[in-house]
Amino acid sequence: MTKAIVTAALLLAGCAALSGAAAQDKPAKLKIGFVYSGPVGEYGWSYQHDQARQAVVKQFGDKIETTVLAGVGEGAEAERTIEQLARAGNKLVFTTSFGYMDPTLKVAKKYPDVKFENATGYKHEKNVATYSARFYEGRFVQGTIAARISKTGVLGYIAPFPTPEVISGINATLLAAQKINPDIKMKIVWVNTWFNPGKEAEAARALLGQGADVLMQNTGSAAAMQVANERGAHAFAQDSDQIKFGPKAQLTGIVDNWAPYYASRVQAALDNSWQAGDAFGGLNDRMIVMAPYTNMPDDVKKLAADTEAGIIAGGIKPFACPVFDQDGKEVECKGGDHLDDGQVRGMEFYVKGIDDSIPGR
C-alpha cells in the first residue's frame, strides 16, 4: 500500500470517528406526547392545544419530537393511551382534559422518570403538574355583553359536565349579567359531553325555544354558533375564534392561548429545571384572550373593552364579595374582597338567581 493510500485511509478513518463522536455528543430529542379529548379540526379546545404544540415545534425544531393522540375517551381508554406514550419513550406528556386527571396520576406512579402535565386538573405528584386558566374572567366579560344585547332577558348556556370550572363559568356569567339587568334569567342544558356537535345543536335549539336569544357554551364544537347564526340569535365562541361559523351571530369568544405555557414547560424539561407545579393564568398574562368584539353597538363594545381592562388591572373582580349562593346564603369570603382561587377552583354551588340544580348534587 502506498504512503498516499495509507494517509487517505487514516484521514477517512479519522473523519468517521469524529462523525461518530459528534453523533454521540448530540443530545437525543425530547419526545413529547399530547392527548386530546376531541378531534383537532379547525376550531375548539383540542384545536387550540394543537396550535400551541405546533408553535412549540416551530420554536424548538429538532430538539423535540411530538406525538398526538386525539379523540381519546376518559377512564380506561385514557389510561391506556397515556401509558402507551410513556412506553414509547415520551418524557413529557400533556393530557389536556379534566377527565384525564386520575388516569394521568395512575400512569405517573408507574413511570416516575416521565413528566406529566394535566390541563384543568388539581391533583399533583412529584412528576405531575397541572395548568388551567381563569376562563371565568372571559365569561364575566361575556355576561356583561349578553345582558346588554339580550332583548328577551333570557340567556342560554350549554354545559358539559358539572366540574368546578364549568360551574364557576356559569356563575361568573350570571353575576356579570345581573349587574346590568338584575332580573335576567339563565337557562342551562347539560349535554354530558365535551364535544358532540349533534347534542350541542339540539341543546342550542332547545334553549332558543325556551326564549333565550344569546347562547354561550362550555362545549367544544361550533354547532351552537351555527344554530344561532341560522336563527338570528347571538352567541359566544368557545376556546377559539368561530366567527366564520357565525358571521352575524358571534359577539366575541374566549380564545385559549396555551403556546407560551407549553414553550416554558418544554424549555424547563430540556434544561432539567422542570418541577411539578400549578399554573392558573388569565386575561392579565394572556393565557386567555378575547376574540374581537363584533355584532354589537359601539357603546356595548366600549363597555366590554372597559370590563376586560378592569379585570386585567385588578379593579374588577368577577367574584367580588358579597357572593350569595342559590339559597341566598352569603358565601365565606376568603380572598379579602373576593372569593379566593381555591374557592373558585373548587366551586360546587350556584349563585343566587339560577333556577336550576347541579347534576348529581
Which of 140, 139, 159, 150 is closest to 315 using CA atoms? Answer: 140
* Contact (CB, 8 A) for 214 and 198: no
User: What per-residue confidence (pLDDT) applies to 29?
Assistant: 95
When computed from its CA atoms, the radius of gyration of the chain, rounded to whole angstroms, is: 24
pLDDT of res. 41: 87
First to last CA, the chain: 89
- Identify which of 198, 219, 227 has the alpha carbon closest to the alpha carbon of residue 46: 219
Residue keyed to cell 386538573:
121
Residues shown for the chain:
361
Q: Distance between CA 234 and CA 230 in Å, rounded?
A: 10
Q: CATH 3.40.50.2300 in the chain, residues?
A: 30-133, 135-256+286-346
User: 135-256+286-346 falls under which CATH superfamily?
Assistant: Response regulator (3.40.50.2300)
- Chunked into runs of 10 residues, the chain (361 residues) has average pLDDT values of 40 46 68 95 93 98 98 95 98 96 98 98 95 98 98 98 96 98 98 95 98 96 97 97 98 98 98 97 97 98 98 98 98 97 96 94 80
Q: Taking the model in full, what pTM does it have?
A: 0.90
- The three cell numbers of residue 100 are 384525564
CA 338 centroid distance within chain: 23
Residue 25 has what pLDDT? 60
- What does each C-alpha distance from 164 to 98, 158, 343 come to in angstroms? 10, 15, 9
Q: 229 in helix, strand or coil? A: helix
CATH of 30-133, one of 3.40.50.2300, 1.10.10.60, 3.30.930.10, 1.10.730.10: 3.40.50.2300
